[in-house]
A and B are shown apart, each in its own frame.
Chain A
């Protein structure tokens, strides 16, 4: 099913402005016109802008690339990341899918991508808005040899990798907000990284690194509550290849993960600091226990954020929402 829908999307994309008839699609895929119509309907239901005109056929109004494992792997320079890959049309959450696959033994580097998530995960039960074809919704399974207490800095490492890849492929000078959000120069959030870990006591079974990167979409395409805070790399439909971005992200991630595994966080800390837009700023920190305001001063070797609170105390922050320039 999913594979057939992927091929329908691929065919429509290649056709550009031309309408493709149901008969042509059916012949190409070896299915009936009625079956084609049913697939088109479920693609439309999933949010794909497909125009259907009687006696002419179907046309895809959105021109972004359709993701496929073949296209991504064709230009992949990694040794293990993305070598095993599932590219789905729709999934509830790539993290949940990758986690379940890892529990069934998926190897290090196993990568899940989806055109659309119906229940993309954010921090503490929040959702990640992930409509079809507009972003990169990706989860990578890692099976590191280090113990659990070293895992959190891996999420800062991932922020460095993704920021480098985005800058290289798109030229958009994204910055890192502690611990691992990526922001556009105007401060809108363009990428979030949420990781989940499975461990046996202090030993890691696997980590799922979940990356949500908004590539296309004007502010008005976001839900109202996100319009002022979220953004995309190419809001005006600028030409960006999601496939090239994915390839670059996996390559950077693999290299930085190797550096972290061998040499620890310190070489990455310098790069994190160069890319960061958090330190030196006035912030509020919202933790589950309350709110703290002060100045973001530094990160330590464990990746914790040290805040000079208005009380004068230096406070280490391990997990929190950071708000810039609070009133």
Chain B
């Protein structure tokens, strides 16, 4: 199996280049990634935002039951929402989930640290449910060892869910907010 972090790295590399399709094979697993706007055929692709990347993991018949890449491990940074899709038997169900998830972006923590919703204890939170955000909107701070990381929304939309509590310790990749994309 490919690790979620590896898939994420490949997607990011693709986003930065003009490559529209990529197939990698490793230890019996094959991963094919295709930029959504490059195909325009499958329904899942049309539901995804234009810059999204679609990933499909093809499992060899002999391997253990396949898990859609999008739901294993920490969620992918939603700059490139990962729509997990399993080809073959049972693929239809996974695909419909992927469509529903496509308009939601999950903001995750890029490091272990303390999650703060406001710049100071007595200040107003950066965002609340219903707040409109753009790519550069600061949504929270994650602090570790007096390093303050102001997390940007990295997408346009509306905050629909706050997934961590103020002052809570968050892990690498832990979901912090969900954003309904414009």
Contact = CB atoms under 8 A, between A and B. Distances in A.
A319 B154 contact: no
Contacts, number: 94
Contacts of B151: 199
B167 A289 contact: yes
A153 B113 CA distance: 12
Overall SS of chain B's interface? loop
Nearest to B78: A201
Contacts of B120: 124-126
B61 interface: no
Contact of A197 (B12, B148, B166): B148
Interface in A245-301: 287-289
Given A125-B123, A288-B167, A201 B110 contact: yes
Contact of A152 (B77, B144, B152): B144
Nearest to A148: B110
Contacts of A149: 110-112, 172
* A180, A192, A200, A207, most chain B CB atoms within 10 A: A200
Given A200-B154, A318-B112, A303 B145 contact: yes
A179 B143 CA distance: 12
Interface in B96-137: 110-114, 116, 119-123
Assign chain A's interface to a size class: 35 or more
Assign chain B's interface to a size class: 20 to 34
B161 interface: no
A319 B119 contact: no
B116 A123 contact: no
B150 interface: yes
Contact of A155 (B145, B168, B169): B145
A202 interface: yes
B121 A125 contact: yes
B79 interface: yes
B149 interface: yes
B146 A288 contact: no
Contacts of A194: 146, 148
Interface of B: 12, 77, 79, 110-114, 116, 119-123, 143-152, 154, 166-169, 172
Please give me the 8 A-B residue pairs with the lowest Cβ-Cβ distance, nearest first: A125-B120, A288-B167, A152-B144, A179-B145, A148-B110, A319-B114, A201-B77, A152-B145
Interface of A: 123-126, 147-149, 151-156, 179-180, 192-202, 207, 287-289, 302-304, 318-319
Given A152-B145, A196-B149, A289-B167, 8 more contacts: A149-B111, A151-B111, A151-B147, A155-B145, A198-B150, A199-B149, A287-B114, A318-B145
5 contacts: A201-B77, A288-B167, A289-B168, A304-B145, A318-B113
